[in-house]
Structure 1
Amino acid sequence: MTDELQPVAPTATSIPDGELRAVADGTHSGPHAILGQHLQGDGRTVIRARRPLAERVTAVLTSSGERVELHHLAHGIWQGAHGHGLDDYEIETVYTDGVPHTVDDPYRFLPVVGEVDQFLFGEGRHERLWHVFGAHHREHWGTHAPVRGTSFVVWAPHAQAVRVIGSFNGWDGRAHAMRRLDALGIWELFVPGVSPHETYKFQIRTASGEWVEKADPLALHAEQPPQTASVIANPSTYEWGDGDWMSARAQKDPHTGPMTTYELHAMSWRPGLGYRELADQLVEYLDGLEFTHVEFMPLAEHPFGGSWGYQVTGYYAPTSRLGSPDDLRYLIDRLHQAGYGVIMDWVPGHFPKDSFGLAEFDGQALYEHADPRLGEQLDWGTKVFNFGDSQVRNFLVANALYWLEEFHIDGLRVDAVASILYLDYSREEWVPNIHGGRENLEAIAFLQEVNATAYKLYPGIAMIAEESTSWAGVTKPTEWGGLGFGLKWNMGWMNDSLRYVERDPIYRSHHQGDLTFSFVYAWSERFLLPISHDEVVHGKGSLYSKMPGDEWQKLAGTRLFLAYQWGHPGKQLLFMGQEFAQQTEWSESRGLDWWQLDNPGHAGVQRLVGDLNRLAKNEGALWQRDDDPAGMVWLSGDDAANSVLAFARRGFDGSPDVAMIFNFSNQVISGYRLGLPHAGRWSEVLNTDAESYAGSGAGNYGSVTTEETPSHGFTQSATVTVPPLAAVWFKYEG
């Protein structure tokens, strides 16, 4: 580094005693101005170091080995000078034990944060924020040579002082006070010799003079809960093997292809597995089920396991419950190499109030809005991000990009979007926007920014909204005024269809509208049909237990419902355990009831799910025109008396139609005349009552052939048999 870059240091006599005391106490906002090495106006170089209780302090110059004796100024601050210009050096300290202790000096280094980084963060546009902020084990240049150590960078604009505390300094931060770089509130310190796996926090002096201890908001690793410290992560050495997957992904549009998703909670799928063990066992299990994607409930660090990951404290730290960040990379890599896309739940709407986390980070509202009518989420006892703050928005947008970049995630499912969009969401007291409305304009701009940026940088990914209202334009492009998501969870379909199937079959004829209403708006957005964790927990019961009747009827009803879900326009998502009709509802405190697969009925449901997924992949009619009303034609939508629903799915030219008939009654329907859109043979490609699924085996002997008998508005029709609580699909063969 050139001499011109170094500030001229104050002389010993010009340093006020109060400043020396502040440096000694670690309460100075610019300790580098006092400590470290500085060129004097007389051409000499002065070195100052903080060494309380020392007997003797010496600076040892690296290039010459010259020893520069330092003399005590006050309050444990020592000073000495030499005439050889700037140099690398170490500080040798002798205490009362007489044993020399030699360490490098963190205060001899220039900032690790450059002007470009400061500018981009100031503008709220630093798309690689995790490369700069947080803790990074790295090389950093001194005067003549690089040194390995760890850089610490944190944003705390309201702080009077910030110190790094950790396992490497006995959790005493007075020796590692950080310097404030700018008015924006970026604090930094490079500590030579500090290695990965050390734990640390930031000790922040608030505007009121109190000290608070906070985990690093951009830590890349964290201690296992209930411990709360951040961990200096090893720089990743993982070598990805999914190059073919990533190249192919960039050429595809996931919104217009088949997408069937298996949602799971990584900690309770098979308890006790780490990321690497989960990778091997999950891939082996999925290979018989043919899902296209896996969706993990949040994998970012969270203190309370019972939140399932939806109350995040470490937005950039994969949960250490299952291993290291590179272990997670292995899990995703294995899934990619086996042909499965990976989606992760992402929670940018709110965060918990844990004292070590983001809440009142530097002593007052920073990441959250200061007004509790905007900054509190009362339903969940959490804080709400201040989406109108450029730096907060930058933190969140960069976090989305972090998961897509560093872990090759193929999509983010954004949690609780409705709570972000509406200022009056679950609030009695709320603040209208500048136009007097209830829409959160800052949050809308944030969602548009994160979606547009993610799609621009990572072609082939999917941004998915869990949005539970009728907000218009969730999946409309941002340039057309939409939110810019690729898919939206169809919560209306989920609520209506579950309410329908929970009724006893004898009453279903009076509620046909619960089944047909979703088709009124099925093409207003690009929809994904979810049966998620939220529907099989907290007393709601499993999908199996929602079905009325005895065991046979429950299994048959589950098979029928799944066929209806896979046949309905839209993508599909199914939560773990429902693919084999687990009888009990899910609990994160225990694993799935895998033993139920020994029962032929439950194994049959699992076999059906695999066949549904294979059909979904192979039959273009099931996905090519998901968001186009021309992709579906009604065959029978008004036969409420028989609790029958029938329609045909159609793709583009060359993709044969698939006709589907669903019997939600508990009576067999024989000789049912069904109008069909084409004359000829229709092969039976799915029958949920097949013996292979542990059904009774009733059906249509493999196919039906149309006759010139008008029915349901068609000139051609066929008579079909539909078993009770069953679905039968026919593919047009010509």
Structure 2
Amino acid sequence: MVEKKQEIKALAAEERFLTGENFYSQHFLGAHKLTNGNFVFRVWAPNAQQVWLVGDFNDWEDTIPLVKRESGIWEVKTAKPHEGDLYKFKIRQANGREIFKIDPFAIRFEKRPGSAAVLHTLQEKKWKDGLWQGRKKRTNYFKRPLNIYEVHASSWKHHEDNTPYTFSDLTKELIPYVKEMGYTHIEFMPLMEHPLGKSWGYQLVGYFALSSYYGTPEEFQDFVEACHKENIGVLVDWVPGHFCINEDTLPYYDGTPTFEYEDLDRARNIRWGSINFDLGKPQVQSFLISSALFWLEFYHLDGIRVDAVSNMLYRDYDEGPWTPNHEGGNRNFEGYYFLQKLNAVVKLAHPEVLMIAEESSSDTKITGMIESGALGFDYKWNMGWMNDVLRFYEMDPIYRRHNFNLLTFSFMYMMSENYILPLSHDEVVHGKKSLMHKMWGDRYKQFSQLRNLYTYMITHPGKKLLFMGSEWGQFLEWKYDHGLEWVDLNDDMNHSMQHFTKTLNELYRTEKALWELEGSYDTIEIIDADNNEETILSFIRRGKTKKDFIIVVLNLTPVERKDFVVGVPYKGTYKEILNTEMKEFGGTWVKSNDVKESIAVPFKDYPYQIQTIVPALGALLIKPAEVNTRGRSSSKSKKAKAEN
């Protein structure tokens, strides 16, 4: 009777997997311990001629054959292997070739360069992060600060013998550091199993397995729990678009296109030397959505950043030949509908989870309601802002006045999506230089501009992301196989830069004007974005109340501006709350600007103005001290009344 119920349950799971509706397919496929202590192994290989279970328990010989079910899923129940044994599947493919393949649903792998799965039973954890989970469900994350510290887990810090930290080590050191620095979330580059460290985790083989390079699943669970106890969220990058080309992994699993497209041009990914998933295939949808939910639920993650979304949306995104769709265009409809389905499933189960897209085009609405035609993501990386702004800050200030639009163009589209402003790992590798090294001028000017850049990022509408090491201005490019240059902090300039970043992060968290009305144009007023000659940008960020606003002034030239005019909305006094050129941050100023009294002289759209000193390559943040908010009228409205 028990066996019959188990078989009925298996048939239901099998059917849902085949139709793309089994979002917990890892509970059916892969390796599972039975109540009698034996194990059942199942693998999807519909066109294989035969499949065997092999491992160190049978000297890797084909002595344990699997039986093919009608669905194309192969199955065997056996007492032979034990917990901790290594295993693979030996597959006689459709053309008769025999090859060893990994278990696509394995939850543990041996340490690279080995690629065998480890027979491992995951235990149910008794989580102690209930306060965090409850608060997260009650919080509107669109109207809260989101400041992400991006981390590559194995190169944040190394031991003295140059071995990387595991998650047990990171629990002791990374969490206190992130809390001290004032970030709200940690985002890890992919943690799933991958055979080549040089890929940074973006060419996966194990979609359900934490890389053994980083420790055990239980250690990562403990890390996430410890983060939540310190009010730090955890996000992880995930790669559902393409996978590793190594032939003992997923490619052409049964000798025919299984996980990949049948069309060779659509299957191969020339740009990254990988293979694209066939996102229209129901079984692949079951596989990938199951992977996403597994990571979110088993590890209590607070969100997922989906990598390389453009590659899933457009047939012509890659290099090489491409075939138009049935409408004659470049839209990859399979990818488009898969991403909508992914977000719909995740949000139905976990509405509080953050779904983030790394996407570089503007042809598709990425964030927003699926019913409106959008993909349903919560946030999109603003790659355009990142590219334009970094080009601007690399530029000799002589030319900046002719390219001021690079700094200001994002104001034209900043509300078209829900954006995260990323200064990510992609910008500090492959000869692009570190963020600090990109800045124009000598070392002092480079640090001045780095402080200016971070101030612009923190005050510009959108959530924030900064790659590790950038917070103190590491000069060397990031190296995936080395720890960060922590020795830099022995230098006064780097130490002061780290202190500045911490101060800026704290200001971001405490000043509601920087995030309370985000997503609405009410959050920002442009004071002057046309000052090309002096190359100074000024704008206001607003909170819900009239008196809650911050004036931002950015000087993008190495010329100090005395008696600089800034338009203000109300009569009263204004105080400086941040000056990036203070000595404590690495600058030369020992005293802030005095409190400024408004002058009843209009400036652009504002009825009043203040005059202040703006330091060379510096940024100022100014708040109202005592102002009268009644009866504000702009200079334009006064002029209109006078003409009438």
Alignment TM-score > 0.5, same fold: yes
2:46 is equivalent to residue 157 of structure 1: yes
For 2:492 and 2:259, the matched residues in 1 are separated by 52
1:259 is matched by which residue type in structure 2? L
Match of 2:127 among 240, 249, 258: 240
Gaps spanning 5+ residues in structure 2: where? 159-163, 628-644
- Which residue is equivalent to 1:9? none
C-alpha displacement of 1:151: 1.8
CA change 1:372–1:719 in 2 (3 A) is same
- Equivalent residue runs for 1:283-302 within 5 Å: 283-302=175-194
What is the total number of aligned residue pairs between the two structures?
621
1:177 corresponding residue in structure 2: 65
Q: In structure 2, what is the Cα distance between the partners aligned to 1:616 and 1:546?
A: 25
1:606 to 498, 508, 523: 498
The equivalent position to 2:375 in structure 1, one of 459, 483, 487, is 483
Instruction: Letter of the 2:448 partner, please give it.
Output: A
Match status 1:408 vs 2:285? no
C-alpha distance in structure 1 between counterparts of 2:6 and 2:121, whole Å? 23
SS at match of 1:159: coil
- Which stretch shows the higher mean deviation, 188-197 or 669-678? 188-197
**Aligned residue number for residue 51 of structure 1:** none
Worse-matched range after superposition: 295-304 or 686-695: 686-695
Aligned equivalent of 2:439: 547
- Secondary structure of the residue that 2:533 maps to in structure 1? helix
Which of 450, 464, 472 is residue 572 of structure 1 equivalent to?
Answer: 464
Q: Distance in 2 between matches of 1:363 and 1:306?
A: 28
* Counterpart among 138, 141, 161 of residue 251 in structure 1: 138
Of the three residues 41, 45, 57, the one matched with 1:168 is 57
> Does residue 499 of structure 1 match 2:386?
no
Q: Is the aligned partner of 1:192 residue 2:79?
A: yes
User: What is the alpha-carbon distance in structure 1 between the residues aligned to residue 76 and residue 595 of structure 2?
Assistant: 74
Q: How big is the shift at 1:474?
A: 0.6
| AA partner of residue 529 (structure 1) | L
Q: Name the CA shift for 1:680/1:432 in 2 (closer, same or farther; >3 Å).
A: same
Aligned position for 1:10: none
Deviation at 1:625, TM superposition (A): 2.3
The letter of the residue matching 1:633 is E
Whether the 8 Å contact between 2:179 and 2:232 is mirrored in structure 1 is no
Contact 1:137 1:235 in 2 (8 A): no
Q: Is the 8 A contact 1:537 1:587 kept in 2?
A: yes
What aligned pairs does 1:695-706 form with structure 2 within 5 A after superposition? 695-697=587-589, 700-701=592-593, 703-706=595-598
Q: What's the counterpart of residue 210 of structure 2?
A: 318
How many angstroms does 1:719 deviate by? 0.5
In the alignment, structure 1 residue 690 sits paired with structure 2 residue 582: yes
Please name the residue that 2:632 is paired with.
none
Measured in 2, the distance between the counterparts of 1:196 and 1:665 equals 64
CA contact (8 A) 1:112 1:190 kept: no
Residue 665 of structure 1 deviates from its aligned partner by: 0.5
Q: 2:24 aligns with which of 128, 153, 177?
A: 128
Q: Deviations over 1:143-173 (max 9, x none)?
A: xxxx112221111111121111112222113
Whole-angstrom distance in 2 between the partners of 1:663 and 1:502: 15
Q: Pick one of 445, 449, 455 that aligns with 1:557.
A: 449
Rounded to whole Å, the distance in 2 between the matches of 1:2 and 1:154 is 23
Q: C-alpha deviations, 1:199-227, integer Å up to 9, x for none?
A: 10011111222211111101001111100
The alpha-carbon distance between structure 1 residues 2 and 699, as it changes in their structure 2 partners (threshold 3 A), is closer
**Structure 1 residues 634, 161: closer, same or farther in 2, change over 3 A?**
same
**Equivalents in 1 of 2:570, 2:514: separation in Å?**
17
Question: Aligned pair in 2 of structure 1 residues 461, 702: CA closer, same or farther (>3 Å)?
Answer: farther
* Contact 1:203 1:211 (8 Å CA) reproduced: yes
Partner deviation per Cα, 1:239-277 (whole Å, 9 max, x = no partner): 322111112112223233210000010010012211111
Could you list the per-position Cα deviations for residues 358-386 of structure 1 after superposition, in whole angstroms to 9, with x for gaps in the alignment?
00111111000021121111111111000
The separation in 1 between residues aligned to 2:87 and 2:440, in whole angstroms, is 54
Q: Which runs of 5+ in 1 are unaligned?
A: 6-108, 140-146
Q: Which residue of 2 is the match for residue 264 of structure 1?
A: 151
Q: Secondary structure at the match of 2:225?
A: helix
Q: How far apart in 2 are the matches of 1:543 and 1:188?
A: 52
Partner of 2:97: 210
Distance in 1 of aligned mates of 2:188 and 2:429: 17
Pairwise CA distance, 1:112: 9.4
Matches within 5 A, 1:564-643: 564-643=456-535
Is this contact kept in 2: 1:136–1:235, CA < 8 A? no
Confirm or deny: 8 A CA contact 1:255 1:462 kept in the other structure: no
Deviations 1:349-406 (A, max 9, x none): 1112101110011111100002112111111111100011100111111111111111
What does residue 115 of structure 2 align with? 228
How far off is 1:686 after superposition?
1.2
User: 2:474, 2:104 → 1: CA distance?
Assistant: 39
Residues in 1 aligned to 2:120 and 2:66: alpha-carbon distance in whole angstroms: 20
Give the corresponding residue for 1:22. none
Deviation at 1:534, TM superposition (A): 0.3
Once the two structures are TM-superposed, the CA of residue 579 in structure 1 deviates from its matched residue by 0.2
Does the 8 Å contact 1:258/1:292 carry over to 2? Answer: yes
Percent same amino acid at aligned positions?
Answer: 37
SS at match of 1:541: coil
Matches within 5 A, 1:325-364: 325-364=217-256
**Aligned counterpart, 1:43:** none
Name the CA distance, whole Å, in 2 between partners of 1:600 and 1:391. 56
Structure 2: distance between partners of 1:652 and 1:419: 39
* Whole-angstrom CA distance in 1 between matches of 2:415 and 2:204: 34
Please provide the CA RMSD for this pair.
Answer: 1.7
Write the letter of the residue equivalent to 1:417.
Answer: V
Q: CA–CA distance in 2 between the matches of 1:540 and 1:581? A: 15
Q: Whole-Å Cα distance in 2 between the matches of residues 475 and 385 of structure 1?
A: 23
SS at match of 1:511: coil
* TM-score (normalizing by structure 2): 0.94
CA contact (8 A) 2:582 2:592 kept: no
- C-alpha displacement at 1:476, in angstroms? 2.1
1:110 Cα deviation from its structure 2 partner: 7.6
Select 2:331's aligned residue among 399, 423, 439.
439
Question: Do the aligned partners of 2:593 and 2:613 also contact (CA within 8 Å) in 1?
Answer: no
Give the partner amino acid of 2:322. Answer: W
Q: Are 2:9 and 1:117 equivalent residues in the alignment? A: no
1:684 & 1:637 partners in 2: Cα distance?
A: 21
- Residue in 1 that maps onto 2:622: 730
Aligned partners of 2:29 and 2:42 also within 8 Å: yes
Residues 619, 655 of structure 1: 8 Å contact kept: no
User: In structure 2, the residue corresponding to 1:154 is in which secondary structure?
Assistant: strand
Give the TM-score normalised by structure 1: 0.83
Q: In structure 2, how many angstroms separate the alpha carbons of the residues matched to 1:680 and 1:599? A: 42
CA contact (8 A) 1:249 1:459 kept: no
Distance in 2, matches of 1:638 and 1:155, equals 61
Q: Which amino acid aligns with 2:39?
A: T
Amino acid at match of 2:37: R
Conserved 8 A contact 1:161-1:178:
yes
Tell me if 1:465 matches 2:352.
no
1:654 and 1:152 map into 2 onto residues whose CA distance is 64
1:384-395 equivalent positions in 2, closer than 5 A? 384-395=276-287
Q: Deviations over 1:651-703 (max 9, x none)?
A: 22367011100001001111101101222222211111112112111664353
Q: Counterpart of 2:265?
A: 373
Asked which structure has the greater CA Rg, the reply is: 1
